[in-house]
Amino acid sequence: MTHDVTLIPGDGIGPEIAAAMEEVVAATGVDVRWRRERAGAQVYEGCGTPLPDSVLEAVAETKVAIKGPTATPVGSGFRSINVALRRAFDLYACVRPCLSMPGDGSRYRDVDLVVVRENTEDLYAGVEFEAGTPEAGHIIASVNERTPGAIRPSSAISVKPISPEGSERIVRYAFEYALSRGRRRVCCVHKANIMKATDGLFMHVAERVAEDYPDIAFECRIVDACCMGLVCDPADFDVLVLPNLYGDIVSDLCAGLIGGLGLAPGANIGSECAIFEATHGSAPDIAGKDMANPTALILSAAMMLDHLGEPGAADAVRDAVREVLAEGTSVTADICRALTDSAEGAVGCAAYGHAVAE
Ligand code: NAD
């Protein structure tokens, strides 16, 4: 069977890691017909938008996409393509498994947890008002009328929407994920002691949903204490479900537990479409130098193969990655440095991709 998949190589290291990923997928023998689309900062310079309509049309048609990272300017400039794609296709569940592998260079062993991040709401919704604008002034005046002095008039405003529906579907997704994969615990992560309305709602919905899953243990943790727990004893965690912004931050923390961003895969799942992508960004500091570690995107492709109904190929990809890392002779600079404190003897992104494909 031929699978049509949209491929968005993206910015920075994106094209390099996408090429390695393609080679590995080809080696599985699964027939994937790639529909290549360009999105990101480079496209913005040429055509005035970082996300041309053709990309949206392609994803809508193929229903499955894999993308490299896309850059988002800090502070000003265009808005995130990832946020736009997640919103356009209502990709409400961001799933990021973090699994230790022999030779991953991490000081932690036996990490096996999954971050399930809500992907459409929270401070990430992008509802923001710049300081000094009439819109910000209007909101500030309205809040200060009820709670005098609550917001300084010079402030910028970001809105944190958390809905019961949005919370319920992501928590349910986390429980169903745990059930279908034989996982035993779900931990709801929040800051409901301070954000009683928004995070409080998320936590209460999670407590209610948990009652429908008596065979899965459930607990709630405050996000700051949860971060400390993850760093001290990651084996104490199984499935974590979080609102969007904490999920973003905790995902990178968890990537650090399994050898770094170069090894952390991910998927954005909706009811109609799915877009697979690594946790990391475009890594401009190493772009174009054949230094990137493509493992995260290769493992994202394994998640994609599972999604396409090709579990044998998905397992073969994961096994190949484990074998190459365990052997330790063909590893990229990030892993080499973690193992030996030096990048000497590291292979490039392309050579690592060949090794996994072989
Ligand atoms: P980053 O993840 O790009 O890089 C952080 C550090 O990790 C850098 O030192 C980088 O070299 C290293 N790194 C990341 N991926 C690596 C890999 N595969 N192999 C080896 N080393 C790797 O984070 P950043 O520098 O904060 O962000 C750069 C850009 O990426 C920004 O424009 C940001 O908006 C964007 N970004 C995009 C996505 C996405 O498209 N999903 C996610 C996060 C950040």
Residue 334 beta carbon below 6 angstroms from any ligand 1 atom: yes
Same domain? 116 vs 229 = yes
What pLDDT does residue 320 have?
Answer: 98
296, 263 contact by CB (below 8 A): yes
User: Is 248 in the active site?
Assistant: yes
Question: What's the pLDDT tens digit per position in 109-138?
Answer: 999 999 999 999 999 988 999 999 999 999
- Higher-confidence residue: 223 or 50? 223
Last-in-domain residue among 257, 274, 304? 257
- 85 lies in some domain: yes
Question: Is 107 a member of any domain?
Answer: no
Residue 103, domain member (yes or no): no
CATH of the domain at 276: 3.40.718.10
Distance 13 CA to ligand 1 centre (A): 9
Q: Is there a catalytic annotation at residue 92?
A: no
Rounded to the nearest whole angstrom, what is the distance from the C-alpha of residue 86 to the centroid of ligand 1? 18
In this structure, the answer to whether residues 4 and 132 fall within a common structural domain is no
Claim to verify: residue 299 and residue 348 sit in the same structural domain = yes
pLDDT in tens, 257-298: 999 999 999 999 999 999 999 999 999 999 999 999 999 999
73: in domain: yes
Indicate whether 322 and 194 sit together in one domain: no
The reply to whether ligand 1 has any atom less than 6 angstroms from the CB of 263 is no
Token pair 């727990």: residue: 229
Distance CA 267, CA 319 (A): 19
Regarding the beta carbon of 283 and ligand 1, being less than 6 Å apart is answered: yes
Greater confidence (45 vs 169) lies with: 169
Beta pairing partners, 66: 7, 276
> Pairing relation of β-strands 112-118 and 157-158?
unpaired
- From 257, 288, 317, give the residue that closes a domain: 257
69 CA: nearest ligand 1 atom: 40
Residue 99 belongs to some domain of the structure: no
Same domain? 293 vs 172: no
pLDDT tens by residue, 207-231: 999 999 999 999 999 999 999 999 9
Cβ neighbours, 10 Å, residue 118: 26
Does residue 153 sit in the same domain as residue 181? no
300 inside domain? yes
How many domains does the structure of the chain reveal? Answer: 3
Asked whether 277 lines ligand 1 (CB < 6 A), one says: yes
In this structure, the answer to whether residues 232 and 116 fall within a common structural domain is yes
Helical residues (DSSP H) of the chain, grouped into ranges: 14-27, 41-47, 53-62, 81-88, 134-146, 164-180, 198-210, 223-232, 244-257, 295-307, 311-327, 333-340, 349-357
**pTM tops 0.90:** yes
Q: What is the reported pLDDT for 76?
A: 67
Give me 55's structure tokens: 């990309």
What is the per-residue DSSP string for 307-352? HTT-HHHHHHHHHHHHHHHHH-SS--HHHHHHHHSS-TT---HHHH
10: in domain? yes
Beta carbons of 59 and 89 less than 8 angstroms apart: yes
Is residue 224 annotated as part of the catalytic site, yes or no? yes
For residue 107, what are its two tokens? 């000081």
Token pair in block for residue 327: 């052997």
Q: Are residues 290 and 280 in the same domain?
A: yes
Question: What is the CATH number for 188?
Answer: 3.40.50.2300
DSSP for 215-265, please give it. Answer: TSEEEEEEHHHHHHHHHH-GGG-SEEEE-HHHHHHHHHHHHHHTT-GGG--
What is the domain extent for residue 337? 1-94+265-358
40 lines ligand 1 (CB under 6 A): no
Q: Does pLDDT of 75 surpass 80?
A: no
341 and 281 share one domain? yes
31 backbone dihedrals φ, ψ, rounded to 5°: -85, 100
Would the CB of 82 count as within 6 Å of ligand 1?
yes
Choosing from 44, 173, 191, 334, the catalytic residue is 191
Q: Is 78 a member of any domain?
A: yes
Q: If you measure from the C-alpha of residue 202 to the centroid of ligand 1, how many angstroms do you get, rounded to a whole number? A: 29
Is residue 11's pLDDT more than 70?
Answer: yes
Contact 338, 105 (CB under 8 A): yes
124 is catalytic: yes
Strand pairing of 217-222 and 93-99?
Answer: unpaired
The answer to whether residues 205 and 117 belong to one domain is yes
Site to probe by mutation for ligand 1, drawn from 11, 17, 78, 280 as the one with most ligand atoms within 8 Å of Cβ, is 280
Q: Which of 82, 104, 117, 261 to mutate to test the pocket of ligand 1 (most atoms within 8 A of CB)?
A: 261
Residue 305 has a pLDDT of 98
Residues 153 and 169 in one domain: no
Q: Are residues 138 and 240 in the same domain?
A: no
Q: Of 240, 257, 274, which residue constitutes the final position of a domain?
A: 257
User: Does residue 147 surpass a pLDDT of 90?
Assistant: yes
